[in-house]
Amino acid sequence: MQPLDSHYFDDIGLPGIEARLKADFDCLLYPGKNWVPPRKGVTDIVIVGGGMCGMLAWLSLTIGGMQNIRVLDRSQKGCEGPWLSYARMETLRSPKNLTGPAFGHGALTFQAWYRSQFGAEKWNSLDKIARPMWMDYLRWYRHILNVPIENQVSLNHVTHQGNLLRLEVSGEKNEIILCRKLIFATGRDGTGGPNIPNFVDNLSKQFWAHSADEIDFSSLRDKFVAVIGVGASAVDNAAEALENGATEVRHLIRRDKMPTVNKMMGIGNFGFTAGYAALPDKWRWRFMQYSFTTQTPPPRGSTLRVSRHKNAYFHFKKEITKIDRQGQKANISFTDGTSYLADFIILGTGFNIDPLARTEFGDTARNILLWKDVYSPPKGEENTELGQFPYLNHDFSFCEKEKNTASWLNNVHCFNFGASASLGKVSGDIPGISEGAAWLARGIGAALYSEDVEKHWQFLLNYKKPELLGDEWKPTELESNINQGKVA
């Protein structure tokens, strides 16, 4: 067999790659045969979130022949996800050749998209993917697949109406959508929200912001800025403040030293992706708890982006006890008795997983089964944060805490970072998401089919179209061959 031409995509331009993709999809009979019996006034599946995971979920479902789908996103067209808002890094952390949402199609990868426009030489010299360029790629992905995202449409509340989910939606007009399955492709904070430590509870918002907030960095010129934490977002926000002329930026870090090893990235492979979800609770907890405890270091490039400024500082073992207003400054006090006066504080404290922080479920969020409800870790492996993660079924659906109190939760699929304790890294970070989308489509397809089993049974009974017309054979009598000397 001839080796594949690794330069196939180079300089063929977007029309070239699009033609290739169309040919591939035609050969694969895309979209899959529509098999879900329609129900009047009912959408089979609603996907909330038109970012990478939402679009990929839509692709995997349509490949599987589920076509009565709506995709809603509250953001403006082309601005889905964090990439053009609060993501403030220069480049993605992930390597440039990640396959991400390509779902097994070389022509859908970032690499093909890039090489088709810029060629091999530029590809070879590219180090990491520039953040806005990743958004350009996602926009192209939406365009070429024709993902029907309805932008500036927000899901506000979910309840149920009989066996259906009842979604209260607002956009140009308010609407009630009845659907059978709901996919929560709502992003990094999709099962929770920003982690806001209580030491800012009584501090005026003029002194602080979370890294996921809109921040006017130009207003930080000539200011003393404190950044709480040293994770990826903390570091990116510090860099923005420094580049915008802050007098100084000080990372105030509770831990005693910088994590330097990205453990989970290091062990990423197909085995982990495929195997994690099937592990017993004990092992899943152990892997995740270890990862939480050892912590992911900020990317090297982002850290250097900060430390190349002489007025940037990293202070470890700085656990905050309280922050008080002192005139036009915020006075930050630490457990070691020291303090620091800041003009502005940026919380690089990440996100919490906490279904109650999502307004969409209302009070029913209390009914979502969490890891802390089902698993008691052994001594030394306790972790409150991890205990807050939803304990999901293998098709990403929520379980009820108390049986038959909110069984409609089984029809809501958590296809975002909140699924990672139960299913691993298949619904948030870029590398594993195609695998997750395949599981999701299989699970939802299976559920839709079994819920309609009576109808499908009837289709089987009713199906009468002959494959043979009756003129292909002739029945004859069987004559005994025993006494005809033909058998020894």
Q: Which of 70, 105, 142, 188 binds ligand FAD (CB under 6 A)?
A: 188
> What is the distance between the alpha carbons of residues 198 and 215, in angstroms, rounded to a whole number?
20
| Interface positions, 414-473, toward ligand FAD (CB under 6 A) | 416, 428-430
Q: Which is nearer to ligand FAD, 260 or 376 (CB)?
A: 260
> What is the distance between the alpha carbons of residues 481 and 153, in angstroms, rounded to a whole number?
78
80 binds ligand FAD (CB under 6 A): yes
Q: How far is the CB of 369 from ligand FAD (least distance, A)?
A: 21
> What is the distance between the alpha carbons of residues 120 and 241, in angstroms, rounded to a whole number?
36
Q: Which is nearer to ligand FAD, 135 or 332 (CB)?
A: 135
Q: Which of 116, 117, 233, 411 binds ligand FAD (CB under 6 A)?
A: 233
Question: Can you read off the two tokens belonging to residue 137?
Answer: 């790629």
Q: How far is the CB of 173 from ligand FAD (least distance, A)?
A: 15
Q: Which of 43, 49, 264, 330 binds ligand FAD (CB under 6 A)?
A: 49
186 binds ligand FAD (CB under 6 A): yes
Q: How far is the CB of 51 from ligand FAD (least distance, A)?
A: 2
- Distance between terminal CA atoms of the chain? 51
Q: Which stretch binds ligand FAD (CB under 6 A): 30-38, 50-58, 272-280, 455-463?
A: 50-58
Instruction: Report the DSSP pairing between strands 174-184 and 412-413.
Output: parallel
Q: Which of 12, 36, 43, 54 binds ligand FAD (CB under 6 A)?
A: 54
Q: Which of 17, 66, 92, 346 binds ligand FAD (CB under 6 A)?
A: 92
Q: Which of 20, 43, 44, 81 binds ligand FAD (CB under 6 A)?
A: 81
87 binds ligand FAD (CB under 6 A): yes
Q: How far is the CB of 291 from ligand FAD (least distance, A)?
A: 15
> What is the distance between the alpha carbons of residues 375 and 39, in angstroms, rounded to a whole number?
40
> What is the distance between the alpha carbons of residues 71 and 62, in angstroms, rounded to a whole number?
12
DSSP track, 319-356: -EEEEEEETTEEEEEETTS-EEEESEEEE---EEE-GG
360 binds ligand FAD (CB under 6 A): yes
Q: Which stretch binds ligand FAD (CB under 6 A): 117-125, 181-189, 435-443, 461-469?
A: 181-189
C-alpha angle 273-420-80 in degrees, rounded to nearest 5: 105
Instruction: Report the DSSP pairing between strands 344-347 and 224-228.
Output: parallel
Q: How far is the CB of 137 from ligand FAD (least distance, A)?
A: 13
Q: How far is the CB of 360 from ligand FAD (least distance, A)?
A: 5
Q: Are 426 and 44 in contact (CB under 8 A)?
A: no
185 binds ligand FAD (CB under 6 A): yes
Helices (H) and strands (E) in the chain, counts: 14, 19
Instruction: Report the DSSP pairing between strands 351-353 and 192-194.
Output: antiparallel
The DSSP letter of residue 390 is B
73 binds ligand FAD (CB under 6 A): yes
75 binds ligand FAD (CB under 6 A): yes
Burial class of residue 431 in the structure, from the number of CB atoms within 10 Å of its CB (0-12 exposed, 13-18 middle, 19+ buried): middle
For residue 470, which phi and psi values (nearest 5 degrees)? 100, -10
Q: How far is the CB of 372 from ligand FAD (least distance, A)?
A: 24
53 binds ligand FAD (CB under 6 A): yes
Three-state DSSP class for 11?
Answer: coil
C-alpha angle 453-458-464 in degrees, rounded to nearest 5: 140
51 binds ligand FAD (CB under 6 A): yes
370 bridge partner residues: 390
191 binds ligand FAD (CB under 6 A): no
Q: Which is nearer to ligand FAD, 179 or 332 (CB)?
A: 179
Site size with ligand FAD, rule: CB under 6 A? 30
Burial class of residue 154 in the structure, from the number of CB atoms within 10 Å of its CB (0-12 exposed, 13-18 middle, 19+ buried): middle
195 binds ligand FAD (CB under 6 A): no
DSSP track, 204-239: -GGGEEETTS---GGGGTT-EEEEE--SHHHHHHHH
Q: Which is nearer to ligand FAD, 10 or 435 (CB)?
A: 435
Q: Which is nearer to ligand FAD, 188 or 284 (CB)?
A: 188
> What is the distance between the alpha carbons of residues 444 and 63, in angstroms, rounded to a whole number?
13
Q: How far is the CB of 367 from ligand FAD (least distance, A)?
A: 19
| Interface positions, 115-174, toward ligand FAD (CB under 6 A) | 154-155
Q: How far is the CB of 52 from ligand FAD (least distance, A)?
A: 4
CB atoms within 10 A of CB 481: 9
183 binds ligand FAD (CB under 6 A): no
| Interface positions, 386-425, toward ligand FAD (CB under 6 A) | 416
The DSSP letter of residue 397 is B
Residues that bind ligand FAD (CB under 6 A): 48-54, 72-75, 80-82, 87, 92-94, 154-155, 185-188, 233, 360, 416, 428-430
